[in-house]
Amino acid sequence: MKTLITVMGVLALAATAAASEIHGPAQTSAGSAISISTSGSGEATFYLIGPASATKQKVQAGSDVPIVGDQLDNAGRYVAILCASDGCTSTSFFVTPGTANRLGLLVHPSRVPVGKANGISTVAFVFDNFHNLVLKPQPIKFSILPKNAKEVSANRESQNGVAWIRISSANKEGATKIGAEIGHADEVRVVQQVAADACNLRIKASRAKENFLVETEPVRDCSGNAIPDGTVVSFTKSDSAGKTTVDVPIKRGIAKVEMPVQGPARITVASGVVTGNELEVSASR
């Protein structure tokens, strides 16, 4: 609080008092060294107030004040103030972002079903070497490299420091690399593409002592990708004893269950919203 009051007091004094002159550039880029020229004579105090810092040093009025690039890392408005024996004077200048040379890349989600249109969102943020957001339009190259497939690329121009693209997932499961590139900077993220909903779900039944063993064929999605183990498959039996549903996880690509049957029975199968074929069996020998 004391530092803030002191800085505010210096600014107020600089605005009201006539003093030696001080001049600086109207604009410079982040990280670039500059020189502030002053007039007058004698010992003076120089203040530099920026978006994220404030410095103070003793100088000689009438000589140039060098400002090293490390003091100008943050883009924004800076105020330079010179306080000598005849009062304080000030000048302001702007520091703009430097050359685009860094990227921040966000990809969502990290897992996505295969064959999902516009299922992957990719956003790139453009920065300079000092982490200032570069607001001027910049060309960004997005690239997609699916597993065992050729790379596909698309170019976008950033707006206000941001560029984005939507990507449809491939038809085959596996890891897909998604990258963004600008100049010598590039970032890569990995999205795991997993099987979609089951497709062409089919079951068969066979005798197992007094029960029926009902099992699926290998469960796959419409593109032929194996549905992951642990996915639940529901078997429903309707016979003279009533209706019974049993939920069974897929193990080693198939799901199976033993079901007791009384008289004629109908057995159906489903996984999520997908239904399969229907079987008619009978307990009579």
Distance CA 22, CA 170 (A): 62
Joined together, the tokens standing for residue 230 give 């642990």
Give the burial class of 225: count Cβ atoms within 10 A of its Cβ; 0-12 exposed, 13-18 middle, 19 or more buried: buried
Instruction: Name the CATH superfamily, with its identifier, for domain 102-194.
Output: Macroglobulin (MG2) domain (2.60.40.1930)
- pLDDT (0 to 100) of residue 146: 84
- pLDDT (0 to 100) of residue 4: 44
Does 2.60.40.10 match the CATH number of domain 198-282? yes
Show Cβ contacts of residue 15 under 8 Å, excluding neighbours closer than 6 positions: 90
Give the pTM: 0.73
- pLDDT (0 to 100) of residue 19: 52
Show Cβ contacts of residue 74 under 8 Å, excluding neighbours closer than 6 positions: 30, 50, 51, 52, 53, 95, 130, 132
Q: What topology is assigned to 2-96 in CATH? A: Immunoglobulin-like (2.60.40)
Whether residue 265 contacts residue 282, with contact meaning beta carbons closer than 8 Å, is answered with: yes
For the stretch 181-208, what's the b/e string if a residue is b when 16 or more beta carbons lie within 10 angstroms of its beta carbon?
bbeeeebebebebbbbebbebebebeee
Whether residue 38 contacts residue 47, with contact meaning beta carbons closer than 8 Å, is answered with: no
- pLDDT (0 to 100) of residue 177: 93
- pLDDT (0 to 100) of residue 285: 54
- pLDDT (0 to 100) of residue 218: 95
Report, as ranges of residue numbers, the positions in the chain whose pLDDT lies below 50: 1-5, 8, 11-18
Distance CA 249, CA 216 (A): 11
Joined together, the tokens standing for residue 249 give 């996880």
Q: Which amino acid is at 261?
A: V
- pLDDT (0 to 100) of residue 20: 75
* Total length of the chain: 285
- pLDDT (0 to 100) of residue 165: 95
Domain extent listing, the chain: 2-96, 102-194, 198-282
Distances (CA, A) of 171 to 187, 201, 222, 223, 254: 24, 18, 9, 6, 21
- pLDDT (0 to 100) of residue 15: 44
